[in-house]
């Protein structure tokens, strides 16, 4: 019956109550039953009245509440602009017993896979666009170090190259506004922890960055999504949340590096 609730809710409010007056006690009653506080109810009702959110979005929040999401979690998911398909998949996974951490990993991985599938037909074109003449020259200069790091730490060459591509575009002396340095954009503390003597030495940086990737893989059980999220936003935050942080930069980073990884695998397959 739960899966039909949203449809009854929408039909009821759109066809009757909201045709008369959108600011109604019945709406507050449904929100209250979904675990919303009076202040949250007032906020949502005001947003509906001002047409800042739709009644469908209110229905989605209530449906998420029925399968265990708190009001704040529901608001966060809706604010991400999820599709109806993604919402339904979340509901199904929750009813099957998956926890929120696992669901978010599954949903992020699903989006990445869809992007890959969509781009399969022009993968050769994408690879040619990925490995430009400039990148080819830079890659040729550092490739021996990538091979060495891959063998020493048992990390795929394609993954190392994907991270370098995203982090620095193969620029040896790249420095970010946050202070990350070199090919794999190592912060000073990370560089020290990974025994990197000179972050602007290509070999030192690649060995240190690959060692860090290996450590993250061991820390997060080999889950590539969490590993890449931790590389971008820090392992402490990812470990604390137990999932990919809701940070646009980090979500984009995971998707881009995963896509690069798949493309590089077509050139540098796993050993």
pLDDT in tens, 45-84: 777 777 776 766 777 666 666 656 677 776 666 665 556 5
What angle separates helix 55-66 from helix 2-12, to the nearest 10 degrees? 150
184, 208 Cβ separation under 8 angstroms: yes
Spatial distance between the Cα atoms of 220 and 112, rounded to a whole number of angstroms: 19
Domain range summary for the chain, segments of one domain joined by +: 2-98, 121-265
Tell me how crowded residue 176 is: count the other CB atoms within 10 A of its CB: 11
Torsions phi, psi for 116 (to 5 deg): -60, -45
181 DSSP β-pair partners: 175, 186
pLDDT < 70: residue spans in the chain: 1-27, 30, 33-34, 53, 55-56, 60-69, 74-92, 94-96, 100-101, 104-131, 271
CATH topology of domain 121-265: Lysozyme (1.10.530)
Contacts of 232 by beta carbon, 8 Å cutoff, 6+ apart:
249, 250, 253, 254
Tell me how crowded residue 62 is: count the other CB atoms within 10 A of its CB: 20
pLDDT score recorded for residue 136: 79
Spatial distance between the Cα atoms of 104 and 98, rounded to a whole number of angstroms: 10
**167 catalytically annotated:** yes
pLDDT score recorded for residue 122: 46
- The gap from C-alpha 149 to its chain's centroid, in whole angstroms, comes to 26
pLDDT score recorded for residue 123: 45
Q: Please give the angle made by the CA atoms of 130, 134 and 137, to the nearest 5 degrees.
A: 105
Spatial distance between the Cα atoms of 220 and 16, rounded to a whole number of angstroms: 51
Q: Can you give the length of the chain in residues?
A: 271
Spatial distance between the Cα atoms of 135 and 145, rounded to a whole number of angstroms: 16
Query: Which structure tokens are listed for 59?
Result: 């229905």
Q: Which of these is catalytic: 57, 104, 148, 167? A: 167
Residue-wise pLDDT tens digits, 15-47: 443 443 444 566 677 677 667 778 877 877 777
């Amino acid at each position: 019956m739960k899966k039909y609730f949203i449809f009854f809710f929408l039909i009821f409010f759109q066809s009757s109550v909201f045709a008369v007056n959108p600011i109604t006690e019945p709406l507050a009653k449904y929100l209250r039953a979904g675990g919303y506080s009076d202040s949250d109810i007032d906020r949502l009702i005001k947003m509906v009245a001002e047409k800042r959110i739709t009644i469908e979005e209110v229905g989605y929040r209530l449906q998420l509440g029925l399968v265990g999401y708190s009001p704040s979690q529901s608001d966060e998911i809706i604010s991400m602009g999820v599709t109806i398909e993604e919402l339904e998949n979340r509901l199904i996974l929750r009813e099957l017993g998956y926890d929120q951490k696992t669901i978010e990993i599954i949903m992020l991985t699903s989006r990445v896979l869809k992007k890959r599938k969509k781009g399969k037909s022009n993968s050769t074109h994408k690879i040619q666009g990925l490995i430009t003449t400039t990148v080819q020259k830079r890659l040729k200069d550092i490739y021996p170090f990538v091979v060495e790091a891959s063998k020493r730490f048992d990390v795929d060459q394609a993954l190392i190259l994907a991270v370098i591509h995203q982090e620095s575009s193969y620029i040896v002396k790249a420095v970010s506004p946050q202070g990350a340095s070199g090919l794999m954009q190592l912060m000073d503390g990370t560089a020290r922890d990974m025994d990197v003597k000179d972050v602007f030495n290509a070999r030192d940086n690649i060995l240190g960055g690959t060692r860090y990737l290996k450590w993250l893989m061991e820390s997060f059980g080999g889950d590539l999504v969490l590993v890449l999220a931790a590389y971008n936003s820090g392992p402490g935050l990812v470990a604390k949340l137990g999932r990919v942080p809701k940070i646009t930069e980090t979500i984009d980073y995971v998707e881009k590096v995963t896509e690069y990884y798949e493309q590089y695998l077509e050139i540098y397959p796993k050993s």
